[in-house]
Amino acid sequence: MTEQLEPTLAANNMIIPSCVSDQPNINTDGRSLQLSMNEQSKKVDLVGSQMSALLNADEIVKLLGIISQHKQTLQLFQTLGFEDKIPDIIRNLIERKQLIEAVRFICTFKLNDKFPPAPLLIEFVEDAKKYCSEIFSKVKSHDEKEKVVDDRIADLRAVIECIEDHDLESQYPSIDILMDIQGLGKLKDTGKLVLFLPSNVEKQEQRKGKKRSSSSVSPAPHTYQLRKRT
């Protein structure tokens, strides 16, 4: 669950220009219109610089994570003139492994060619697996293991939601993810939290094996993992 930012005292003194969203007067000549647009740009930059001064890097990333979950708020970035800053925001999110948030920015601002979303979603799933492996090997109690599984399921559902929201099914089919969620749910129901589900590579081999003889090798156990929570 996304962590909310705590308001700071300095935020109360932050200047928000009331006319940022005002439309320029279409009756003015070209020079006046350009001056008006320049003024709007300066005010937007002022807001951005004040935000940077009030929030540290981690807080800004958390804020961007919250923003990425709301399409209307993302579109507000365009209205305020922040669109040219989006590529840098995406790079920042990718660097900090906020990959789902990065994909939402990418798709909303139609930057799929510059930042292909499918590899980022795949990386998210793989990073999640690695983290889950580390945590699962350390916890002892059944409740702790169950929480690891719950977190893993939540990560997979976040990927599916992102795929559905941005029509990415053709780039990253969600069938394997759905199978993983179903398998993890069964493990919880039976209480056997050993996680003997096949990896994606093994799933492909299984599909090929259906076309061959029934003597194919059984998949090796695979430990499921999840991403580090912030």
Q: pLDDT tens digits, residue range 127-151?
A: 888 888 788 888 888 888 888 889 9
Confidence of residue 12 (pLDDT cuts 50, 70, 90): very low
Q: What angle do CA 39, 45, 49 make, to 5 degrees?
A: 145
By C-alpha distance, which of 109, 116, 121, 101 is closest to 76? 109
Average pLDDT, the chain: 68
Write the CB contacts of 227 (distance below 8 Å, at least 6 apart in sequence). 97, 124, 127, 128, 131, 155
What pLDDT is recorded for position 220?
A: 41
Determine how many CB atoms are found less than 10 A away from the CB of residue 128. Answer: 23
pTM over 0.85: no
What pLDDT is recorded for position 124?
A: 95
Q: What angle do CA 113, 115, 117 make, to 5 degrees?
A: 95
Determine how many CB atoms are found less than 10 A away from the CB of residue 102. Answer: 27
Q: What percentage of the chain exceeds 90 in pLDDT? A: 23
Distance CA 108, CA 101 (A): 11
What's the maximum distance between 2 C-alpha atoms anywhere in the chain?
A: 80
Distance CA 27, CA 108 (A): 33
Q: Is the pLDDT of residue 28 over 70?
A: no
- Of the ranges 69-73, 107-111, 210-214, which is most confident? 107-111
What pLDDT is recorded for position 185?
A: 84
Confidence of residue 116 (pLDDT cuts 50, 70, 90): very high
Confidence of residue 169 (pLDDT cuts 50, 70, 90): very high
> Which sequence spans correspond to the domains of the chain?
9-108, 117-211
